[in-house]
Amino acid sequence: QVVWADSYKVGCAVQLCTNGVKHFTTSEGALLVCNYGPGGNVNGWPPYNSVGTACSGCRGRCKDRLCRSEERDSQKSYNWTPNWDTASGDSNYWIILVIRVIAVLLTFAAAYGVHYFYPNVFCYE
């Protein structure tokens, strides 16, 4: 993966692996992961525009021979939540909780009953 001509969001992280990397080496190492937006790696396409001079295709302004866009490069925050189905109030979770308590009580009662009527069943001699 490389940074492409249209990539403008680049983020990288590194994780130190003091015990090595599983299935690779036991020596200390580091994993480096980067994410580019938008991505590329399209077979047969060059990663950079090779037609024209630097910044000739910019829609915004040019700085240090790179295209800049104040709107695109500004920091954004979103108030977004996934559209998941939420649990409704009439869910049957309470039935599961009650059944679990009853099952635990019946298990203890059965163990006590077996021990009471058959005291030598759990003999470990």
* Paired strand residues for 17: 29
The predicted pLDDT at position 101 comes to 95
**Inter-residue contact 58 to 8 (CB < 8 Å):** no
Whether omega for the bond prior to residue 38 falls within 30 degrees of 0, making it cis, is yes
- Judged against a pLDDT cut of 90, whether residue 118 lies above it is answered with no
For 20-73, how does the pLDDT look when each residue is reduced to its tens digit (9 = 90+)? 888 888 889 888 888 887 777 778 877 777 778 888 888 888 888 888 888 877
What is the extent of the structural domain holding 87? 9-91
Q: What total number of domains does the chain contain?
A: 1
With respect to residue 2, please indicate whether it lies within any of the assigned structural domains: no
Residue 5, Ramachandran bin (φ over 0: left; ψ between -120 and 50: alpha; else beta):
alpha
Q: Return the pLDDT at 99.
A: 93
Is residue 42 included in any domain, yes or no? Answer: yes
Tens-digit pLDDT profile for residues 61-111: 888 888 888 887 788 787 877 777 766 666 677 788 899 999 999 999 999
Tell whether 66 is covered by a domain: yes
So what's the pLDDT on residue 104?
Answer: 97
Place of tokens 């019946």: 106
